[in-house]
DNA sequence: ATATTAATGCAACTGAGTTGCAAATATAGC
DNA sequence: GCTATATTTGCAACTCAGTTGCATTAATAT
């Protein structure tokens, strides 16, 4: 179930994603907001924002959860599928707007796919 | 560091992967072998077999670790890159031999990529 | 202003994976 | 084979991201 009331916590969390293109890990958000919001609430609000099609989430290579803004998604469903990029040098993670084509697999029905690309970002690739 | 001594635990674990094409989760192995091998040992042996290029590992969508046999890899490095498929109906996970082309990303240097495809497997896709 | 119900904080929990260390066991040298 | 040496193992205790139950707080509707 998504967000029903416009609370402080929701506002604070949304602000963290405002005007920032990067993904942010749940852990980072908990650290950043520790004086304002309890970690349980952070997890719960993120979860609801995902239900509402405001944010989407994915796991990185070490199994930790990242969140980023959606583009054109809604309560009805997440339609904005794309790969994610993690810089192995500075740790920054972001959404890529390129399309990764998944070839058809014989006898199998593909429903979703996750692509995590790792390497060096613009700033670290010198 | 890889495997130095051919111990019972190594033999038992290798046997689990013998003649079975599927990936197996670390948790499943721990459960299966609980009467024979301690879970710490399972994790340690799997880790060493990965170092040796005998097995490779990846995380699924819920952050749990899976292992599968390598094809042509060695201590020197893992060269056998491929996507993995998880059946959303029966939970089975396996390696796919198709190639997923990652397009070049401007200003970024791609080093590795992980692709997890989810859907319905041969047996469940009826 | 009050009632209703959702959201929050807190503490305790879960569960996959890790660490330190003493005991067991594989290997090499004799 | 026996012994010395170093690796591997089991165990218990730990870590850490994420979850749960429940009493309290706060947003919304009337
Ligand atoms: Zn970087
Ligand atoms: Zn994204
Ligand atoms: Zn299946
Ligand atoms: Zn594989």
pLDDT digits (tens, 9 = 90+) for B46-60: 999 999 999 999 999
| Rounded Cα gap, residues A108 and B5, in angstroms | 41
| Rounded Cα gap, residues A27 and A66, in angstroms | 8
Q: Is A107 on the interface with B (CB under 8 A)?
A: yes
Q: Which helix (H) or strand (E) holds B27?
A: helix B26-32
pLDDT band at A125 (very low <50, low <70, confident <90, very high): confident
Is residue B1's pLDDT more than 90?
no
In tens, the pLDDT along B99-108 reads 999 999 999 9
Its pTM stands at: 0.94
Domains and CATH numbers, chain B: 8-119 (1.10.10.10)
Is residue A126's pLDDT more than 90?
no
CB contact under 8 A, B96 and A107: no
Give the Å distance between the CA of B80 and the centre of ligand 2.
Answer: 27
CB of A100 within 8 A of CB of B105?
Answer: no
Q: State percent of chain B over pLDDT 70.
A: 100
Average confidence (pLDDT) over B37-53: 98
Give pLDDT, residue A74.
95
Tokens of A32: 């950043």
Mean pLDDT of chain B: 96
Residues 6+ apart with CB under 8 A from B59: A59, A61, A63, B65, B66, B114
Q: How many helices (DSSP H) and strands (DSSP E) are in chain A?
A: 3, 6
Burial class (CB within 10 angstroms; exposed 0-12, middle 13-18, buried 19+) of B112: middle
Whats the size of chain B, residue-wise?
126
Residue entry with tokens 């920032």: A20
Give pLDDT, residue A53.
97
In tens, the pLDDT along A4-40 reads 999 999 999 999 999 999 999 999 999 999 999 999 9
Q: How far apart are the first and last CA of chain A?
A: 45
Give pLDDT, residue B126.
79
Chain A: closest CA distance from residue B74 (Å): 22
Give pLDDT, residue B78.
94
CA dihedral B61, A92, A36, A15 (to 10 degrees): -100
Name the DSSP class of A49. Answer: H
Give pLDDT, residue B125.
87
In tens, the pLDDT along B117-126 reads 999 999 998 7
Measured to protein CB atoms, the chain C nucleotides within 7 Å are 6-12, 15-20, 25-27
Is residue B116's pLDDT more than 90?
yes
Question: Among B64, B113, B125, whose Cβ lies nearest the Cβ of A117?
Answer: B113
Span CA (A100) to C1' (D19), Å: 34
> Chain A residue with minimal CA distance to B115?
A115
| Rounded Cα gap, residues A106 and B53, in angstroms | 28
Residues 6+ apart with CB under 8 A from B118: A110, A111, A112, A113, A114, B61, B85, B86, B87, B88
Is residue A1's pLDDT more than 90?
no
Whats the size of chain A, residue-wise?
126
In tens, the pLDDT along A54-82 reads 999 999 999 999 999 999 999 999 998 99
In tens, the pLDDT along B69-107 reads 999 999 999 998 999 999 999 999 999 999 999 999 999
Describe the strand order of the beta sheet including B65-69 as a list of residue ranges.
B24-25, B65-69, B55-59
């Amino acid at each position: 179930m998504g967000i029903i009331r416009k609370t402080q916590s929701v506002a604070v969390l949304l602000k963290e994603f405002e005007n920032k293109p990067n993904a942010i890990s749940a852990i980072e958000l908990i650290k950043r907001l520790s004086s304002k919001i309890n970690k349980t609430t952070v997890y719960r609000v993120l979860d609801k924002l995902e239900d509402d099609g405001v944010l989407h989430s994915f796991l990185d290579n070490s199994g930790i959860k990242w969140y980023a803004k959606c583009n054109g998604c809604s309560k009805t469903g997440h339609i904005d599928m794309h790969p994610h990029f993690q810089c192995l040098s500075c740790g920054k993670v972001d959404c890529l707007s390129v399309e990764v084509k998944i070839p058809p697999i014989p006898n199998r029905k593909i429903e979703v796919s996750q692509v995590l690309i790792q390497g060096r970002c613009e700033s670290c690739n010198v």
